[in-house]
Amino acid sequence: MNHVTLQGAEATLEGDFPKVGDVAPDFTLVDRDLNNVTLGTFGDSRKLLSIVPSLDTPVCATSSAKFNEATRDLPAKSVVIVVSADLPFAMTRYCTDNQADALVTLSMMRSREFARDYGVLIEDGALAGITARAVLVLDSANTIVHAELVPEISDEPNHEAAIQALRGD
């Protein structure tokens, strides 16, 4: 069991955060059109999973904007996916308001299984029921090549390291 903090207050996470070399667990999440989407939907693309508590918070919004900006220089067959507990409508509003058209936003609105399977579900404290902040990069076979569980939820992840991993650097 892992722990993270939110402004110094410890929060317990349910599940085990995947490690580099693990195969990413499959998932079913909800896209902006309310369709179920699985990991297989993205085929053999390289994938960056930016897992955030909510796009309605400044750190999540800033981090997502940085990943959106980075998509301009990514090779073909790469996708940046933002996963949160936000409703698809709120995620779409964020993308529209911030011209973040390169991001794929997916919601956990129908289930928290993704958060449990990826070891980022916050069990206690003020944010119980949503996710910690994390970034995973998967190769074309869904093997994890970069994994960062951000220890302090109010901190940003290492964007540069994640983008380099997505490029295959």
Predicted confidence at residue 1, as pLDDT, reads 64
Question: Would you state the structure tokens that stand for residue 137, as one six-digit string?
Answer: 């990069």
Predicted confidence at residue 61, as pLDDT, reads 86
Predicted confidence at residue 110, as pLDDT, reads 94
CA distance 129 to 126: 9
How many CB atoms are located within 10 Å of the residue 47 CB? Answer: 23
Q: What are phi and psi of 66, to 5 degrees?
A: -65, -40
Ordered structural domains, the chain, with CATH = 3-167 (3.40.30.10)
Question: Would you state the structure tokens that stand for residue 72, as one six-digit string?
Answer: 């301009």
Q: What are phi and psi of 42, to 5 degrees?
A: -95, 5
Active-site hit among 11, 30, 37, 60: 60
pLDDT digits (tens), the chain, 169 positions: 688 878 888 889 999 999 999 999 999 999 999 999 999 999 999 999 999 999 888 888 889 989 888 888 887 789 999 999 999 999 999 988 988 888 999 999 999 999 999 999 999 988 899 999 999 999 999 999 999 999 998 999 999 999 999 998 6
User: Contact at 8 Å (CB) between 132 and 120?
Assistant: yes
Nearest in space to 43 (alpha carbons), one of 109, 138, 110, 107 = 138
Cα dihedral: 97, 94, 87, 27 (round 10): 130
The 3-class secondary structure across 68-106, one letter per residue, is HHHHHHCCCCEEEEEEECCCHHHHHHHHHHCCCCCEEEE
Catalytic annotation on 95? Answer: no
CA distance 106 to 103: 10
> Do the bridges between strand 121-122 and strand 9-14 make them parallel or antiparallel, or are there none, so unpaired?
antiparallel
Kindly report the CA angle at 147 between 157 and 56, in degrees rounded to 5?
40
